[in-house]
Amino acid sequence: MRQMTMREANQQFSQLVRQVQVTGESVQVLRNGVPAAEIHPVSTRTGKCALPPDREKALKQLLESARHSTAKSDGKGFTREELHARD
């Protein structure tokens, strides 16, 4: 999570809000070096937060890997070994 002082946040507020909205990255605002507030992106109407492009890509890769996994399950869920198996 990115950090910035209250002064920086105040001087760049419009730009800061735009960056949080576009990147999905939260920002922690410090007052006298101590965390005072956090600015987070708002969830969309579907209830999902927009992910930064790198996290979106990682999530898609994870889901694709899970779809094509050769791990077997007895219908009661995956074992720890199956979840951590690597190709």
Task: Identify each DSSP E strand in 6-86 by its residue range.
Answer: 27-31, 34-39
pLDDT by residue (tens digit) across 24-70? 889 999 999 999 999 998 865 555 666 778 888 888 888 888 887 76
User: Is the pLDDT confidence value at 72 over 70?
Assistant: no
pLDDT by residue (tens digit) across 5-26? 999 999 999 999 999 888 888 9
Given this model, what pLDDT does residue 75 score?
A: 62
Tokens of 63: 């889901």
- Reduced to 3 states, what is the DSSP secondary structure of residue 85? coil
Burial class (CB within 10 angstroms; exposed 0-12, middle 13-18, buried 19+) of 15? exposed
- Domains identified in the chain, total number: 1
Given this model, what pLDDT does residue 12 score?
A: 94
